[in-house]
Chain A
Amino acid sequence: KQEVTQIPAALSVPEGENLVLNCSFTDSAIYNLQWFRQDPGKGLTSLLLIQSSQREQTSGRLNASLDKSSGRSTLYIAASQPGDSATYLCAVRRNNAGNMLTFGGGTRLMVKP
Chain B
Amino acid sequence: NAGVTQTPKFQVLKTGQSMTLQCAQDMNHNSMYWYRQDPGMGLRLIYYSASEGTTDKGEVPNGYNVSRLNKREFSLRLESAAPSQTSVYFCASKRGSANTGELFFGEGSRLTVL
Contacts and interface: CB of A to CB of B under 8 A. Distances in A.
Contacts, number: 56
Given A43-B105, A99-B31, A31 B90 contact: no
Contacts of B92: 44
Given A99-B48, A103-B42, A46 B103 contact: yes
Interface residues of B, number: 25
Contacts of B106: 43
Interface string A5-16: 000000000000
B103 A101 contact: yes
Interface of B: 4, 31, 33, 40, 42-45, 48, 50, 56, 58-59, 90, 92, 98-100, 102-108
Interface of A: 4, 31-32, 34, 36, 41-46, 49, 89, 91, 93, 95, 98-101, 103-106
